[in-house]
Structure formats: C-alpha cells, structure tokens
C-alpha cells in the first residue's frame, strides 16, 4: 500500500495545474502583433501533504505521529485558497514592469492572464503568467 502511494506520488511529480484563465480583447487592426510572455513563480509547499507522505512511508508510532501532525496542519490551514501556500505573497508584484520590458511601446493586446502551477508532490512552483501581443 505505502509503496503504491509513493509510486503514484513519483509518477505524478512534474504535473501541471491550471487555476485561472482570462483572455483580454484582441486588436489586430493596429499593426503587426508580436507575442510576448512573462512568467513569475514562487515555491509553494503543502505541509499537510508532506506529513501524509511521512505517514505512508512510516510504521507504528511514527506513522501515528505523522497522522496527528497531518490533521493539525490540515485544520490550521483550512479555508479557501488557490494553490499551495508560498513564502512571498508579493512575488507577482513586478509583472507589469517585466511586461513593459518585453514590450517597450506598452501597446499590448490579447492579454492572457494565467494562474497555474507545476507540482512535484508537496512542493510546487506557483506561477502567475501573462501572455500577450505587442503591437509594433
């Protein structure tokens, strides 16, 4: 059982999660469109899942301790959220700045705002991305 759980965890490492997609207006009448893209990410960590892995991978008293830890972590992290908790909540702050570096004219159209993540067990890369077209 525990080896199956660990195998599933290994197989699902590197999975992609998609939370939100928003497509903005597209103007193709102003000139040539050049695709630009900005991705910002921060490490996310699911402590509850880490404790669950510990429980599955251990036996006896240790497994019981991991189970209790998992339950406590689940209770104190309860509530609505998107993705895993991150260590810096301002990691997406400079998105617009980077976008303007990619498109100095600032004439952007077809903006797609994407919230996604790459997950590997309890650890994830929580990503905020913007793809757009720069009018040149």
Partner 1 sequence: MFKRFITLAVLMTALTGCVSLNSVSLTQVPAERSNEISATSSSWTFLGIAFSNDFVDEAILDLKSQCAGGKVEGILTKFQHTVFIPVVIREVVATGYCHKG
Residue 85 neighbours by CB under 8 Å, 6+ apart? 44, 45, 46, 47, 77
Is residue 4 at the binding interface for partner 1, with CB under 8 A as the rule?
no
Q: Does 85 bind partner 1 (CB under 8 A)?
A: no
Look at the alpha carbons of 64, 68, 69, 71 in this order and tell me if their dihedral is positive or negative.
Answer: positive
**Contact between 116 and partner 1 (CB under 8 A)?**
yes
Count of residues that interact with partner 1, criterion CB under 8 A: 23
> What's the rounded Cα separation, in Å, for the pair 51 and 66?
6
* 114 near partner 1 (CB under 8 A): yes
Q: Which is nearer to partner 1, 2 or 20 (CB)?
A: 20
Interface with partner 1 includes 107 (CB under 8 A)? no
Task: Please report whether residue 14 would count as binding partner 1 according to CB under 8 A.
Answer: yes
CA distances from 35 to 38, 89, 97 (A): 11, 28, 17
- Contact status: 81 vs partner 1 (CB under 8 A): no
Quick one: CA dihedral 97, 15, 21, 46, positive or negative?
negative
Does 67 interact with partner 1 (rule: CB under 8 A)? no
Token pair recorded at residue 76: 């104190």
Interface characters, 19-48, with partner 1 (x: CB under 8 A):
xxxxxxxxxxx-------------------
Interface residue list for partner 1 (CB under 8 A): 11-12, 14-29, 110, 112, 114, 116, 131
């Amino acid at each position: 059982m525990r080896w199956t759980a660990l195998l599933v965890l290994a197989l699902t490492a590197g999975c992609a999660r998609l939370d939100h997609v928003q497509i903005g207006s597209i103007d193709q009448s102003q000139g040539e469109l050049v695709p630009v893209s900005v991705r910002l990410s921060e490490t996310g960590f699911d402590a509850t899942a880490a404790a669950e892995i510990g429980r599955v991978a251990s036996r006896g008293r240790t497994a019981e301790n991991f189970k209790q830890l998992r339950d406590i972590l689940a209770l104190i992290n309860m509530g609505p959220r998107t993705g895993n908790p991150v260590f810096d909540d301002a990691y997406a702050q400079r998105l617009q700045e980077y976008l303007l570096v990619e498109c100095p004219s600032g004439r952007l159209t077809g903006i797609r705002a994407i919230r996604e993540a790459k997950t590997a067990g309890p650890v994830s890369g929580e990503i905020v991305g913007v793809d757009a077209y720069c009018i040149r």
